[in-house]
């Protein structure tokens, strides 16, 4: 049986390339002065400014905002780690998120089943709430945690353990849903089932060894839950 789901945000609820490609271009436009320096900083971020693609090891994919800031700080002028982190957090809240699926329909359907829903993201909490509100689904979540909410970031399980503690849930009856190994590792560490989706950068081959199931996107969750609950 399964009672609860905790979701990653970027690459899981929102299409990663469409959403964070635009954010990365905006970041590069502010932090660099010409095309050559933008390409160079893009490479540090694992982002190809020509194709708009991210490399599988891009820090933008799975690292927290302070971690990404630390990666690029040596390559930018006029910022401290804190000022760069604050700037990136503000820019993140304004990023144009592109839903991976019809979030209202899918998440509303899961809530109608009586599921408790949480969010655990390596983005900061304020942008995370802004993105969920912009998609019209914030009120469907019983719990929202960012990397700055007090429980750390993934792959550590702190956010996930806070979710189950806050709602009296059994980790064994909860699943972590995400698009990266960080998400799946966090789920395993918290004693949860691990569900991978393919709306991020990682491939099925990347994720399958670490997941209980690999789904094309979160629309497959209802069928998978039915199989668990009636299998």
3-state secondary structure of 231: coil
CB 111 within 8 A of CB 52: no
3-state secondary structure of 217: coil
pLDDT of amino acid 230: 75
Please classify residue 205 by burial: count the beta carbons closer than 10 Å to its beta carbon, then call 0-12 exposed, 13-18 middle and 19+ buried: exposed
Buried b (16+ CB within 10 A) or exposed e, 158-189: bbbbbbbeeeebebeebbbbbbbbbbbbbbbb
pLDDT of amino acid 229: 75
Q: In a structure prediction context, what are the per-residue pLDDT tens digits for the chain, which is 231 residues long?
A: 899 999 999 999 999 988 899 889 999 999 999 999 999 999 999 999 999 999 988 999 888 999 999 999 999 989 999 999 999 999 988 888 999 999 999 999 999 999 999 999 999 999 999 999 999 999 999 999 999 999 999 999 999 999 999 999 999 999 999 999 999 999 999 999 999 999 999 999 999 999 999 999 999 999 999 988 775
**Distance (Å) of CA 38 to CA 5, 11, 95, 127, 149:** 39, 24, 19, 24, 31
What's the half-sphere exposure (Cβ side, CA atoms, 13 Å) at 230?
6
Domains and CATH numbers, the chain: 4-15+97-230 (3.40.50.1000), 17-93 (no CATH)
- What's the whole-model pTM score? 0.90
Which helix or strand (DSSP H or E) is residue 70 part of? Answer: helix 65-72
């Amino acid at each position: 049986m399964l009672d609860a789901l905790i979701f990653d945000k970027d690459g899981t609820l929102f299409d990663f390339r469409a959403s964070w490609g635009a954010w990365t271009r905006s970041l590069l436009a502010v932090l660099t002065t010409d095309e050559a320096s933008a390409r160079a900083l893009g490479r540090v971020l694992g982002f190809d400014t020509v194709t708009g693609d991210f490399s599988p090891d891009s820090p933008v994919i799975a690292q927290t905002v302070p971690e990404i800031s630390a990666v690029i700080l040596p390559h930018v002028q006029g910022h401290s780690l804190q000022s760069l982190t604050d700037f990136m957090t503000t820019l993140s809240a304004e990023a144009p998120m592109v839903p991976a699926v019809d979030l209202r329909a899918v998440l509303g359907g899961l809530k109608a089943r009586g599921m408790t829903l949480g969010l655990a993201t390596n983005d900061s909490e304020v942008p995370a709430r802004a993105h969920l509100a912009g998609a019209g689904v914030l009120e469907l979540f019983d719990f929202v945690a960012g990397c700055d909410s007090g429980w750390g970031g993934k792959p550590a399980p702190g956010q996930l353990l806070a979710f189950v503690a806050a709602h009296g849930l059994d980790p064994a009856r909860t699943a972590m849903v995400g698009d990266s190994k960080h998400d799946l590792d966090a789920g395993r560490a918290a004693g949860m089932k691990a569900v991978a989706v393919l709306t991020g950068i990682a491939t099925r081959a990347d994720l399958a060894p670490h997941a209980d199931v690999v789904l094309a996107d979160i629309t497959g969750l209802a069928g998978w839950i039915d199989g668990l609950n009636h299998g």
